Amino acid sequence: MSKQKGAGGPKHGKDVYVQPHSDGWEVKKKGNERASAVTDTKKEAEKIGRDAARKEHSELVIKDERGRIQDKDSHGHDPRRTKG
């Protein structure tokens, strides 16, 4: 059985990363060379990143000051369906 392209719910977009930047914090979509936004605070970057992830129906990945993954939040693309 083959799946048709475009069938089903909203498409999964590019994952959005909030990570350290030389000028503060950046919001960057996976695969992009340039940041979507650079902010002074992590809190600002998280808000912008969360909004972008919702629009993309993708994963928000938040990194700490050392660049390690601190948190992840799915916005619309959750391929695993569990009962309960």
Mean pLDDT of all residues in 65-84: 79
CA angle 76/73/81 to nearest 5° reads: 50
Which pTM does this prediction carry? Answer: 0.77
How far is CA 38 from each of CA 10, 41, 52, 84, rounded to the nearest angstrom? 28, 9, 14, 40
Task: List pLDDT tens digits, range 26-72.
Answer: 999 999 999 999 999 999 999 999 999 999 999 999 999 999 999 99
**Is-contact 71 53, C-beta < 8 A?**
no
Token couple for 16: 């959005």
Distance CA 22, CA 20 (A): 7
